[in-house]
Amino acid sequence: MAKTMETTTGATNVSTVTMGKALNLALHDALQNDSRVLIFGEDVGKLGGVFRVTDGLQDEFGAERVFDTPLAEATIAATALGLAMKGFRPVAEMQFDAFSYPSFQQVTSNIAKYHTRTGGACNMQLVIRIPYGGNIGAIEQHSESPETYYIHTAGLKVVTPSTPADAYALLTAAIADPDPVIFLEPKSRYWMRQEIALPMPPAALDKARIAREGSDATVIAYGPTVQTALAAAEQAAAEGTSLEVIDLRSLSPLDMETISASVRKTRRAVVVHEAPVFMGLGAEIAARVMHDLFDVLAAPVERIGNATIPYPPARVEKLFLPDADRILEAVDRTREY
């Protein structure tokens, strides 16, 4: 249900929308505001995408600006690269997380490097949208967390929203950013609802946010695990423990300023993500915190993630994914020191 509120700056449309719809609105507004924006990928046109994020966009803006591609992810990435070189603002979709792997060479060897390769003469202003993560009852090629591959690649920005409001604001900023952006969409949160007010300004692509303030320990999360961390914080509060929850939003660059300020206050840190613990982003965060804040830490940094195994069958994925109990157990371990 939507309503309109009068503000000092004019009419603001306030609507309760899902994350999927918020992304759809951001794409719609980008297409409307900039004729250079093009949207393409597998089934994004008439079908509106597997998750219906592009629903209705081809009908409104035409098949020349919102169009389907062959089932060839390397070609999708290469097309985005070529269009960006010609001054367009391509927004390409990889239908699922693991489907992005065939495009990896184009992304890491060309898209990420073309700006520096040309001495700054050629910008790579493009966005690659990738639904990622599990908890939707799908098989392994549809439930993976490939963020570390992209974070490790210099030349790319990597961001992920955890709420509908951030989905709109971050995608808007990503499309306007001069650098190539890998935009990771937590598919298990596509149906999460939130009231948002439009028009909404773009979000900074290098800033985390404090999702919940606390004083006893810092829980650092992003994408699908932010709501899990907030659920853990609610349970902890009922037992007298105050958890501060950080939503990273930007995975590369990493907002260490916000992380450090929080950990200096709480003196304890837990990092949680759906990706494997081994070589996950949590390892980098833990290393940075231990190095920079060794003098204030009351306990080693705890990491919560998945085992280093292929994604399991849907019937047991709940046992595989981080949950509130695992976060609370990690918090308890930091308080044993």
Catalytic residue numbers read: 142
Residue 119: both structure tokens together:
């001495």
Q: What is the DSSP letter of 204?
A: P
Residue 210, C-beta contacts closer than 8 angstroms, at least 6 positions apart: 244, 245, 246, 247, 258, 262
Residue 95 phi/psi, 5-degree rounding, is: -60, -40
Peptide bond into 199 cis (omega under 30): yes
Report d(CA 82, CA 71) in Å as an integer: 18
Residue 204: both structure tokens together:
């900074």
Query: Residue 87: exposed, middle, or buried by beta-carbon count in 10 A (0-12, 13-18, 19+)?
Result: exposed
Residue 254, C-beta contacts closer than 8 angstroms, at least 6 positions apart: 248, 284, 285, 288
Residue 82, C-beta contacts closer than 8 angstroms, at least 6 positions apart: none
Nearest one of 197, 200, 174 to 185, comparing CA atoms: 174
The type of residue at 147 is: E
